[in-house]
């Protein structure tokens, strides 16, 4: 199933479920856009989502979720930036928005996950110069996130990715990465009570686990 069909299926299921009618207009608006996040891959999609969450924030100024998702979209846009000279500015913008979300009492572990994402993104400016500093900082944020919420699937997934893709001489560990990746997939399957709770990364976790285990089986 391609990403467009997956988005359509998610939205149809969402809009026709009995729980949908019980949500407030604010929650309905948020949930529609959140459903698109985990299938987003293009810059234009993240820009559109950012603008949608920003419009909601203008109305719901005291709510953390719209600003948190603005920060997430801005972080993804920074990650997609291919011009090294523009990465820091994009990351700075995302971090400023994230600080606002933090001040509105967004879940601390989720804020730390995006801080980690931004730290890893800053490595792309100059891998040799920045790699050691920002790799350590990114992993530090993830460990802090798990200290606050040991069952956070996003922090677990990102630590798995760090372990899998970092060369062994710089601290990478494929066995640990595989273990964390399986754990992340289990955590993503746990039920979530609040419809606005972040759930990005689930598709990436499933795809990465399938790819990694296929490679293991072939060797």
**Residue 20's pLDDT band (cuts 50, 70, 90):** very low
Q: Cα(61)–Cα(100) distance, rounded to whole angstroms?
A: 11
Percent of the chain's residues with pLDDT above 90: 81
User: In the chain, count of helices (H) and strands (E)?
Assistant: 11, 0
What predicted TM-score, i.e. pTM, was given to this entire model?
Answer: 0.88
Task: Give the number of other Cβ atoms within 10 Å of residue 130's Cβ.
Answer: 15
Give me the pLDDT at residue 67, please: 98
Give me the pLDDT at residue 183, please: 98
Give me the pLDDT at residue 155, please: 99
Walk me through the domains of the chain, giving residue ranges and CATH numbers.
18-218 (1.25.40.10)
């Amino acid at each position: 199933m391609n990403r467009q069909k997956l988005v359509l299926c998610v939205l149809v299921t969402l809009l026709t479920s009995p729980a949908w009618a019980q949500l407030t207009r604010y929650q309905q608006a948020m949930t529609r856009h959140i459903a698109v996040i985990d299938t987003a891959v293009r810059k234009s999609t993240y820009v559109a989502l950012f603008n949608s969450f920003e419009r909601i924030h203008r109305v719901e100024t005291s709510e953390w979720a719209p600003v948190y998702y603005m920060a997430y979209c801005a972080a993804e846009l920074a990650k997609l930036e291919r011009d090294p000279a523009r990465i820091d500015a994009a990351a700075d913008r995302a971090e400023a928005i994230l600080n606002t979300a933090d001040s509105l009492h967004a879940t601390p572990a989720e804020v730390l996950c995006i801080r980690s994402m931004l730290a890893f993104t800053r490595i792309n400016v100059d891998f040799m110069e920045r790699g050691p500093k920002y790799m350590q900082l990114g992993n530090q944020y993830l460990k802090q996130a798990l200290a606050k919420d040991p069952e956070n699937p996003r922090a677990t997934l990102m630590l798995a990715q760090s372990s899998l893709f970092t060369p062994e001489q710089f601290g990478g560990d494929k066995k640990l990465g595989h273990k964390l990746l399986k754990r992340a997939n289990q955590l993503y399957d746990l039920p979530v009570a609040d419809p606005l709770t972040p759930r990005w990364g689930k598709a990436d976790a499933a795809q990465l686990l399938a790819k990694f285990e296929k490679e293991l089986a072939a060797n």
